Amino acid sequence: TGKEKTLAMIKPDGLLGNYTDEVKNVIINSGFIIFKEMILQLDEDRAASFYAEHSLKSFFPNLIKYMTSGPVLVMILEKENAVADWRALIGPTDSKKAKITHPHSIRALCGIDSGKNCVHGSDSPQSAQREISFFFQEESAGQAVIQHDEL
Ligand code: DAT
Ligand code: MG
């Protein structure tokens, strides 16, 4: 059976709001392994680069302000079907909607609205590869999605 890796992040309000332990409990109880983790402070350039696909959106300036407002915790999560399963676990982008439609999701648990939504998850295996390399240079692009056979 194959293992997959994805990039998860606890955003500044999640970290400062002391949701780290709660989120990690959900991660572990859902069968993920935290393969690597690191706390870091994003500066504007690095946050803009991470969210480059959104650079023309109206919310972009606020997004960068938010993402640089404090440290973040980035994690490589490993599990079968990690990318899709982590996205399912965090719930929809808008935490306000998540509280109604996905009350058990992480974004319902610790997010506030569509901007401050507490956590990030890669949206595809390709994004996971890019985002893992973005934060963990030693995880070469290829290795991030290698399927390991369990003997
Ligand atoms: P996701 O984080 O669920 O992949 P996304 O890629 O569309 O969502 O957007 C990236 C981040 O940008 C999101 O986590 C929070 C912010 N964002 C998205 N849509 C927004 C909106 N309508 N208003 C404010 N911030 C928004
Ligand atoms: Mg996204």
ipTM of the complex: 0.98
Catalytic-residue membership of 104: no
Q: In the structure encoding, which two tokens stand for residue 43, read together?
A: 């500066």
Q: What is the pTM of this model?
A: 0.91
How confident is the prediction along the chain (151 residues), in pLDDT tens digits per residue?
A: 579 999 999 999 999 999 999 999 999 999 999 999 999 999 999 999 999 999 999 999 999 999 999 999 999 999 999 999 999 999 999 999 999 999 999 999 999 999 999 999 999 999 999 999 999 988 864 444 444 444 4
Beta pairing partners, 62:
none
Give the C-alpha separation, 113 to 89, whole Å. 17
- Ligand 1 atom closest to 87 (CA): 3
Give the C-alpha separation, 45 to 34, whole Å. 27
Give the C-alpha separation, 51 to 96, whole Å. 22
Q: In the structure encoding, which two tokens stand for residue 53, read together?
A: 């696909």
Q: For ligand 1, which residues put their CB under 6 angstroms from it?
A: 54, 59, 63, 93, 114-115, 117, 120, 123
Q: What share of the chain is helix, strand, coil (3-state, %, to 5)?
A: 45, 15, 40
